Amino acid sequence: MEPRSYTNLPTGQHFLAAGYANSSGEVSPSPSSPVEDAKLDIDAYILGYATTFGLLGSSAKFDTAISRTCFSGSARLNGDQVSVDRCGFTDPTVRLTWNFYGAPAMDIASYAKWQQGVVVGTSLQVTAPTGSYQADKLLNSGANRWVYRPGIGMSHQLGSWYYDLIASVRFYSDNNEYLGSGQLSQQPQVNLQGHLIYYFNRGHWLSLNGNFFFGGETEKNGVASNDDQENSRFGLTYSFALSRQQSIKLSFSTGVLTRYGNDFDTFGLMWQYRL
């Protein structure tokens, strides 16, 4: 759920963000998995940075984020009741976003007078396998594999209303230390998002969010798991300014359709500071 990912921003800005998110619910494993009745509760503490600049005359943004997660839960593994309680660092992400159409590079004074029409952009996010990973554990904060996520999106203003349409694909490298020395492979996963946003005024907005993602079947040691995902989520995001430099963003999302994977309710709180 990423509303306003492809809206224009003034250049030369730097942002620091810190936040907290909680996800809890059930996990629907693949038919071949020995895990049943899995439930998880995850707390994530997030730190991020973003900067804006001009690229070939249009606006661009670079951002990076990392989090520390603590998760607890229980499940039945091969008929036995098991539990987990562990903390670790997630794999960090970096992303470059370039709004190549309808978003001229402007300083903050020019941006204040600008009126948005249609903006179209593209992005590339890379996740590096440097988070916490224990090869003998099934559940980890890090995934021990590279993830490449190209995307394209657009936003359009209609008075006080905006809408976003976003499409992206995740490509996964192999994890060659899956449960010791095994190999985990995964097919690409497609993610489609839509957001309807109402702006009360600058820095104060509410977004209705929805997505649908599919694909991503895994293979473990060359054996297909038959766990293609066809999942969707629905949520809300509310953002308001505390001052000219600070803002708060609240978010909530819930699973609507879950074939395989997580069926979580997620609440997030993010504080952003413009340096």
Which homologous superfamily does the CATH classification assign to the domain defined by 14-274? Autotransporter beta-domain (2.40.128.130)
Whole-number Å distance between alpha carbons of 266 and 250:
11
| β-bridge mates for residue 86, sequence order | 71
- Cβ 10 vs Cβ 111: under 8 Å: yes
* pLDDT at position 80: 75
Q: In the prediction, which pLDDT does 44 show?
A: 95
Other beta carbons within 10 Å of 275: 9
86-104: buried (b, 16+ CB within 10 Å) or exposed (e) per residue?
Answer: eebebbbbebebbbbebbe
User: What local confidence, expressed as pLDDT, does residue 206 receive?
Assistant: 97
pLDDT at 224: 85
Residue 27's pLDDT is: 75
SS (H, E, C) the chain: CCCCCCCCCCCCCEEEEEEEEEEEEEEECCCCCCEEEEEEEEEEEEEEEEEEEEECCEEEEEEEEEEEEEEEEEEEECCEEEEEEEEEECCCEEEEEEEEECCECCCHHHHCCCCCCEEEEEEEEEECCCCCCCCCCCCCCCCCCCEEEEEEEEEEEECCEEEEEEEEEEEECCEEEECCCEEEEECCEEEEEEEEEEEEECCEEEEEEEEEEEECCEEECCEECCCCEEEEEEEEEEEEECCCCEEEEEEEEEEEECCCEEEEEEEEEEEEEEC
pLDDT of 128 reads 97
Residue recorded with tokens 């609440």? 267
Tokens 């670790």 locate to 88
The pLDDT assigned to 223 comes to 87
Whether pTM > 0.75 for this model: the answer is: yes
Q: Please give the C-alpha separations between residue 132 and each of 11, 79, 89, 237, in angstroms, as whole numbers.
A: 35, 28, 5, 29
All residue ranges of the chain with pLDDT < 50 are none
